[in-house]
Amino acid sequence: MLVRLLLVWGSGCEASQRRVKAVQLVAGVDLGGTAINYTFLNEQEEFLIEGMCEHPSRSKEGPEVCLQQIGDGLKIAAQQAGVQLSDVTVVGLDTPGPSSAAGVLSAKGSTNFVHPNWAGFDIREGLERRVGKSVTYLNDGNAGALWGHFRFFGANNRATSISAVIGTGLGGGVIVEGNVVKGRKGFGGELGHVLLPFHGIAGIDGLAPECNCGRKGDLESLCSLTAIENSLLPFFLTKYAGHELGKVRNLHEAAKLVRGLAENGDPMCREIFRVQAHALGLFFDKMVNTFDPDALIVGGGALEAGEEFQRWFLDQIRAGMPEQREEQADIPLYLMPNGDTAGARGAAIEALRFLGESRLG
Ligand SMILES: [Zn+2]
């Protein structure tokens, strides 16, 4: 899940200084449970909105109200960014999953989309009807991964990257030779539920990390805010008697304080983040051997921290990776930029890729 920073209208929607006149544009629409974030992207691969540009999603009121909100917000965002809506040829949409690769939400409903009419709803097709333009679809994890990939490789490339986004859960995605791996049923890039040989991580003998999906020892059960709350913090508090987090009212509140304390050098909280980084190292090792990728990318709320902490965490990921063969030992490990806008930007990049392909076709 992507961390979202809510800003009020007017502060984030100003057009970028780099804007150039373009005939054709695409839009990026990141639909969340409470807010929609917008961006625009031109054919020179320049984003026309720098920060967040939000409109209420009213998703609790069901698909019809929400689609109306998306359309209304798109007009306002275009005005704010100084673009003509008629220049927008493709709209890229992303939403939380689970959903099919084609944009049909799960029959059980999607995360944060609680109205009964969302069950099995074809949101891509619904938006296409509403705005009268072609609409592409990605889930929010894959959209974030595509943004991370674009940042380092651009929109038209044949590079391969793996992005892991550490938030409440563990999201991300896999881009192979420039294309998002969506999978047969839309579950491509569900990195959080890949099982790890976690017993090899030092200092966690006796830890039994369990994921909400039912698996024991998958990446999300070790590397997410939920993992801190459910497994890592209770485990380490028994080893650090009298730690200040043991006095916090409940684990949910205490878990949110771990990152800040780790950044300030608290030994227990650093240990918790070291274990998370080493779990990620084991996971990335699987990816290196599966895809021989051009880059590994890591982002999310866990890394919205100072540079020293970020560098230390990246070093710990490498330290947690088993030894690599000589040809792969120098694989770049990047930090994903601009977490708040990742969904909208990734959705826009998918729309731009669709625009390029439809011309070729
Ligand atoms: Zn899981």
Run of H or E including 258:
helix 251-263
Contact by Cβ (8 Å): 113, 96: yes
Distance (Å) from CA 212 to ligand 1 centroid: 6
pLDDT tens digits, one per residue of 333-360: 999 987 789 999 999 999 999 999 887 7
Q: Which residues is 55 bridged to in the sheet? A: 36
What's the 223 CA to ligand 1 centre distance in angstroms?
Answer: 11
**What residue segments make up the domains of the chain, in order of their start?**
25-156+340-360, 161-293+301-335
Determine how many CB atoms are found less than 10 A away from the CB of residue 180: 24
Q: Do domains 25-156+340-360 and 161-293+301-335 have the same CATH topology?
A: yes
Write out the residues surrounding ion ligand 1, Cβ under 5 A: 193, 211, 213, 215, 218, 220
CA of 191 to the centre of ligand 1 (A): 9
Q: How far is the CA of 220 from the centre of ligand 1 (A)?
A: 6
pLDDT reported for residue 360: 74
Identify the weakest region by mean pLDDT among 13-17, 24-28, 142-146, 333-337: 13-17
CA dihedral 283, 284, 289, 291 (to 10 degrees): 120
The per-residue pLDDT for range 307-337, each reduced to its tens digit, is 999 999 999 999 999 999 999 999 999 999 8
Give the integer Cα–Cα distance in Å for 198 and 191.
15
**What does the block give as tokens for 101?**
């690769």
Which CATH architecture is the domain 161-293+301-335 placed in? 2-Layer Sandwich (3.30)
Give the pair of three-digit tokens for residue 115: 């109205």
CATH class of the domain comprising 25-156+340-360: alpha beta
**Ligand 1 center from residue 300 Cα (angstroms):** 18
**CA 27 / ligand 1 centre spacing (Å):** 32
